[in-house]
Structure 1
Amino acid sequence: MYIETKGKKQDPKRMVRKIAFISTFGGLLFGYDTGVINGALPYMSEANQLDLNPFTQGLVASSLLLGAAFGALFGGRLSDYNGRRKNILYLALLFFIATLGCTFAPNTTLMVISRFILGIAVGGASVTVPTFLAEMSPAETRGQIVTQNELMIVTGQFLAFTCNAILGNVLGDVGHVWRFMLVIASLPAVVLWFGMLIVPESPRWLASKGRIGDALRVLKQIREENQANIELKEIKSSVDEESKLEKSSFKDLSIPWVRRILFLGIGIAIVNQINGVNAIMYYGTEILKNTGWGTKAALIGNIANGVISVVAMLVGIWLLGRVRRRPMLIIGLCGTTTSLFLIGFFSFILNGSAALPYIVLSLTVVFLAFMQGAIGPVTWLTLAEIFPLRMRGLGMGFSVFWMWIVNFLISLSFPVLLSTIGLSITFLVFGVLGLIAIAFVNRYLPETKGKSLEELEYYFRSYGNQELQSKQAR
């Protein structure tokens, strides 16, 4: 039940900021739970702990991602059914339970199961939170507000890297130090659950369920009164048009404009992953160890990846309000692809050199500057924008499902690739995939900046009708 605060009406902008801050604790949990494995893995791999080999290391790290794929797929549909706010409440509870399961796992089997369940929560949050933010935000600031979730994700990863480094260097000789690293994630889960009790439901979701009065009440909390009435008319018009159609399902793929949106959504989701970003985020400590550093030094060095991710994300949020989405994404991909080729090149010619760890660390920092400052913000914002209300949960859930599947495959195979073909060839492969990503974005991504969600839906419908008429004419 939504607990409405009493007293003088809050400033709408302040209310939106409060909603964004609370709900993006889901992003913080997403970031911490995916980043903490970076430092915990070397310790849980020891013979007197879980005794992991390269394959089981990949299994422990990637089991969360497989769970996230299914969490994203079904989380979108559940948020359409239960509401965005209630779905986030359920996810907070799941985060808490699964975190304790990982913390106290006595063996690899239970660790993998717990990480899979934790992944369901991560995947659900990766879909529900950006959708919720997009629907609560005014069009002119939607870019900055939706990408606050991405900022909280990288902040969570930075906190994970920092906690890993502190605990590893202070308690590194304690056998179960990795358990202390994992249990910290239970705290933001508690904050998220209690915080969502005072957050209202999405007015677009309320209107889609026929609760127009409730939708207007919420809009008046997050918009000026005139704007609230105008926006309600737009939402009602969109809902009325959607009501003429059947409930969204995979049968919608027979509609050309729906196929185009889904194709674009899946493509952008895959582009976000095939450059190997999460090989760096999950295995950064192992990568630095592979270049010659010890575990404790690698944990400290890895903090640089967390710092640049947060700083770059702040820059990215600032840029979203000033530059177009499409060129921003292409520039980001060019930067990451160049960094990948340079890592592969220097790893080959400087193998065994004392300078190699510092060069690789510097290049991963450059890589993450482009990734978190351009690719990450544009990816999540685009996914939250392009799908129409009727199929927002299904479409975003299906797209993010493929994002997590690609993430899972890369994370499962990375330790094995590192131990077989080596660091240099592995990163050169990621570089080639980066070239493919640039070609896709250049060919298919339209510009979405400055358009309301309803305007974007009209654009895709019009494009689909034009495409159908062109085929019929031929």
Structure 2
Amino acid sequence: MGILAFVEDRPTPKEVYNWRVYTAAAVASWASCMIGYDSAFIGTTLALPSFVDEFRLRPDQMPPAKLATTKANIVSVYQAGAFFGSFGAYVSSYYWGRKRSLIVWILLFIVGAGMMLGANRERGLGLIIGGRVLAGLGVGAASNMVPIYISEMSPPAVRGRLVGIYEMGWQIGGLVGFWINYGLQETMAPSHSQWLIPFAVQLIPAGCLLIGAFWLKESPRWLFTKGRRDEAVRNLCWIRNLPADNLYMVEEIAAIDAQIEHDRIHIGPGFWRPFAALKDKKVQWRFFLGGMLFLWQNGSGINAINYYSPTVFKSIGITGASTGFLTTGIFGVVKTVVTFFWLLWLIDRLGRRNLLMIGAAGGSVCMWIIGAYIKLSGAGKTTISTNGKLPPGGIAAIFFFYLWTAFYTPSWNGTPWVINSEMFSQHTRSLGQASAAANNWFWNFIISRFTPQMFNTMGYGVYFFFASLMILSIPFVYFLIPETKSIPLEHMDELFSLKPVHKAHGVMMQKLFEREEEFRHDAEGAGLTVEKTKQAERVESV
């Protein structure tokens, strides 16, 4: 099968894979560009000499402990805001829908980004910290809504690929963020404007998302839950590029109706009813799995590297601002290139489970090797070369760092977002994604807040710590996470009820195939067209 071949749950018209569904995913993914850019630019900006001089962030001007705390606060208030924004988006998306909520939260982000531009030595860091809290609220909300929106708009066969566009946006934003300060360092003299530019660039993806959001259609599945049936059908027909009486459309609408009716009976309508669903141990279990995926994701060390990349490379032996920025920029390139491969082929072909386990195993080995090199060579603490160049061991450590990136990026970087966007039922999906996003930002906050202190006290042990967590994630995935690729959203409840977990996907796909064949056989035996039979069943159920 070709690199772009589809693994379908049922016969799917080619019209379904149209430009609209891909464009909608790309437009919504400007949100992840914002997130990715921030995760990358802030670490190198804190190391930019003009920023350091402006705010006196030098060891000779501030005690080391206070300096580490100040940098950690600048970085981590963003994650704290994002944590609360994740839950705020549940409220707004319930009442206003995905589209209007996205517009509101992105406006809040723009206000926060604008505040940061007013900071200087006289005013201090207050505007930057306050602006990052508001910006964090905006991106936290977006991290809740955008994966859900894309998932709800996507055909099952390409759902991983389309949610993967969200991850691709994250990496493109990160690539710009990793390189921007290297470019400024090389081409622009240190000044107030030099460090202000990377803060101002945040407004570009935010503006693109704000403009594009007015073109997006509201999620049909959200409209169905609100009783706005005609609008929901129109939007679904638009995104699928098919008429309402097409077999594929009739089947999808019937499945949505069945799921909503199931949730109405077992959960009930209303804002608070999804919280009541948490009494169900099966629902609790999925919330637990979603949150744990982000514990393991952050436990890999990725955000320690994203936010404090100069510190990480210094620990390996890289010295000098320009050299550190260049090494960080190459890290961004590797992540982006590998993400393209993940997006086009791995996520919907190799599957979610296999990616997570392979990535954890390979990444752990790399982390053990890097930690061992730092321990044995004393890199980052002693002079390891006299000519400013890394010795062969240091070059090998850098190679394994980039190899770790190649293992991590197509596995734990984006796959937890894909799984969480598709594993919940319609009535608990928004709350489930809010919980997952909040877990991401909570663990993100913990890592970003304490990474400087960890490097000060643990040294090479930081790498062993992350390596150990990656090993522990493997049995978690194998025994507890079922494969979700190609399974329609309306059948996730059934998928997660199947045991053993590592065989659940194959059993579920066989059931879907048998049900499709049985329906077509019954329709032909009755002498009716499949389309008319579906329509008759639809009318009868209503």
- Equivalent-residue separation in structure 2 for 1:20 and 1:435 (angstroms): 33
Letter in 2 for 1:448: T
Letter in 2 for 1:55: T
- Equivalent-residue separation in structure 2 for 1:365 and 1:103 (angstroms): 34
* Counterpart contact for 2:76–2:445, Cα < 8 Å: yes
- Residue of structure 1 in register with 2:319 after alignment: 293
1:357 shift after superposition: 5.2
1:92 shift after superposition: 2.1
User: How high is the TM-score relative to the length of structure 1?
Assistant: 0.91
- Residue of structure 2 in register with 1:39 after alignment: 44
- Residue of structure 2 in register with 1:339 after alignment: 366
Give the one of 37, 51, 54 matched to 2:57: 51
1:149 shift after superposition: 0.2
1:95 shift after superposition: 2.2
**Structure 1 460/90 Cα, relative in aligned 2: closer, same or farther at 3 Å?**
same
Give the one of 480, 489, 494 matched to 1:444: 480
SS in 1 for 2:227: coil
- Residue of structure 1 in register with 2:113 after alignment: 99
1:171 shift after superposition: 2.2
**Structure 1 283/172 Cα, relative in aligned 2: closer, same or farther at 3 Å?**
farther
- Equivalent-residue separation in structure 1 for 2:476 and 2:137 (angstroms): 29
* Counterpart contact for 1:326–1:445, Cα < 8 Å: yes
- Equivalent-residue separation in structure 1 for 2:216 and 2:183 (angstroms): 34
Query: What's the Cα RMSD here?
Result: 2.0
1:432 shift after superposition: 1.5
- Residue of structure 2 in register with 1:7 after alignment: none
* Counterpart contact for 1:288–1:357, Cα < 8 Å: no
- Equivalent-residue separation in structure 1 for 2:394 and 2:129 (angstroms): 31
- Equivalent-residue separation in structure 2 for 1:328 and 1:277 (angstroms): 16
* Counterpart contact for 1:344–1:427, Cα < 8 Å: yes
- Equivalent-residue separation in structure 2 for 1:434 and 1:462 (angstroms): 26
- Residue of structure 2 in register with 1:243 after alignment: 264
Matches within 5 A, 1:66-465: 66-106=80-120, 107-171=124-188, 173-223=190-240, 224-225=242-243, 226=246, 227-244=248-265, 245-246=267-268, 247=270, 248-290=273-315, 291-317=317-343, 318-351=345-378, 352-353=383-384, 354-355=390-391, 358-422=395-459, 424-460=460-496
- Equivalent-residue separation in structure 2 for 1:413 and 1:360 (angstroms): 24
SS in 1 for 2:298: coil
Letter in 2 for 1:350: S
1:74 shift after superposition: 2.2
Could you list the per-position Cα deviations for residues 365-387 of structure 1 after superposition, in whole angstroms to 9, with x for gaps in the alignment?
Answer: 21221121122232111000111
* Counterpart contact for 2:182–2:325, Cα < 8 Å: yes
Could you list the per-position Cα deviations for residues 105-140 of structure 1 after superposition, in whole angstroms to 9, with x for gaps in the alignment?
Answer: 232233222112111111111111100000000111
Could you list the per-position Cα deviations for residues 218-253 of structure 1 after superposition, in whole angstroms to 9, with x for gaps in the alignment?
Answer: 111111232223211111121122222234343322
- Equivalent-residue separation in structure 2 for 1:165 and 1:203 (angstroms): 44
* Counterpart contact for 1:104–1:179, Cα < 8 Å: no
Stretches of 4+ moved more than 6 A in 1?
none
- Equivalent-residue separation in structure 2 for 1:293 and 1:124 (angstroms): 38
Aligned residues: 454
- Equivalent-residue separation in structure 1 for 2:56 and 2:145 (angstroms): 34
Long gaps (5+) in structure 1:
1-9, 464-474
- Equivalent-residue separation in structure 2 for 1:48 and 1:377 (angstroms): 36
Letter in 1 for 2:18: K
Could you list the per-position Cα deviations for residues 15-73 of structure 1 after superposition, in whole angstroms to 9, with x for gaps in the alignment?
Answer: 11111111110111111122110210113762432537111111111111111111112
* Counterpart contact for 1:45–1:57, Cα < 8 Å: no
Segment drifting more, 41-50 vs 182-191: 41-50
Letter in 2 for 1:48: E
Could you list the per-position Cα deviations for residues 351-401 of structure 1 after superposition, in whole angstroms to 9, with x for gaps in the alignment?
Answer: 242336544432222122112112223211100011111011111111221
Letter in 2 for 1:243: R
User: How high is the TM-score relative to the length of structure 2?
Assistant: 0.80
- Equivalent-residue separation in structure 1 for 2:320 and 2:126 (angstroms): 28
* Counterpart contact for 1:340–1:431, Cα < 8 Å: yes
Task: Look at both structures and tell me which one has the larger radius of gyration over its CA atoms.
Answer: 2
- Residue of structure 1 in register with 2:62 after alignment: none
1:151 shift after superposition: 0.7
**Structure 1 120/231 Cα, relative in aligned 2: closer, same or farther at 3 Å?**
same
* Counterpart contact for 1:143–1:320, Cα < 8 Å: yes
1:189 shift after superposition: 1.0
- Residue of structure 2 in register with 1:470 after alignment: none
- Equivalent-residue separation in structure 2 for 1:360 and 1:49 (angstroms): 33
Could you list the per-position Cα deviations for residues 177-236 of structure 1 after superposition, in whole angstroms to 9, with x for gaps in the alignment?
Answer: 221111111011111111111111000000010011111101111112322232111111
- Equivalent-residue separation in structure 1 for 2:154 and 2:276 (angstroms): 30
Q: Percent sequence identity over matched residues?
A: 26
Could you list the per-position Cα deviations for residues 422-456 of structure 1 after superposition, in whole angstroms to 9, with x for gaps in the alignment?
Answer: 2x111111112222222321221111122100011
1:87 shift after superposition: 1.5
* Counterpart contact for 1:270–1:403, Cα < 8 Å: yes
Give the one of 60, 63, 66 matched to 2:74: 60
- Equivalent-residue separation in structure 2 for 1:65 and 1:448 (angstroms): 29
* Counterpart contact for 1:99–1:183, Cα < 8 Å: yes
1:277 shift after superposition: 0.6
- Residue of structure 2 in register with 1:467 after alignment: none
SS in 2 for 1:448: coil
- Residue of structure 2 in register with 1:469 after alignment: none
* Counterpart contact for 2:44–2:310, Cα < 8 Å: yes
Long gaps (5+) in structure 2:
1-14, 59-66, 385-389, 500-542
Letter in 2 for 1:232: I
- Equivalent-residue separation in structure 2 for 1:91 and 1:172 (angstroms): 36
Letter in 1 for 2:249: A
**Structure 1 445/98 Cα, relative in aligned 2: closer, same or farther at 3 Å?**
same
- Equivalent-residue separation in structure 1 for 2:481 and 2:100 (angstroms): 32
- Equivalent-residue separation in structure 2 for 1:150 and 1:16 (angstroms): 16
- Equivalent-residue separation in structure 1 for 2:37 and 2:399 (angstroms): 23
**Structure 1 388/11 Cα, relative in aligned 2: closer, same or farther at 3 Å?**
closer
- Equivalent-residue separation in structure 1 for 2:398 and 2:86 (angstroms): 32
- Equivalent-residue separation in structure 1 for 2:458 and 2:188 (angstroms): 34
- Equivalent-residue separation in structure 2 for 1:88 and 1:361 (angstroms): 40
* Counterpart contact for 2:83–2:438, Cα < 8 Å: yes
Letter in 2 for 1:368: T
- Equivalent-residue separation in structure 2 for 1:76 and 1:193 (angstroms): 19
**Structure 1 176/360 Cα, relative in aligned 2: closer, same or farther at 3 Å?**
farther
* Counterpart contact for 1:12–1:221, Cα < 8 Å: no
* Counterpart contact for 1:85–1:200, Cα < 8 Å: yes
Letter in 2 for 1:457: D
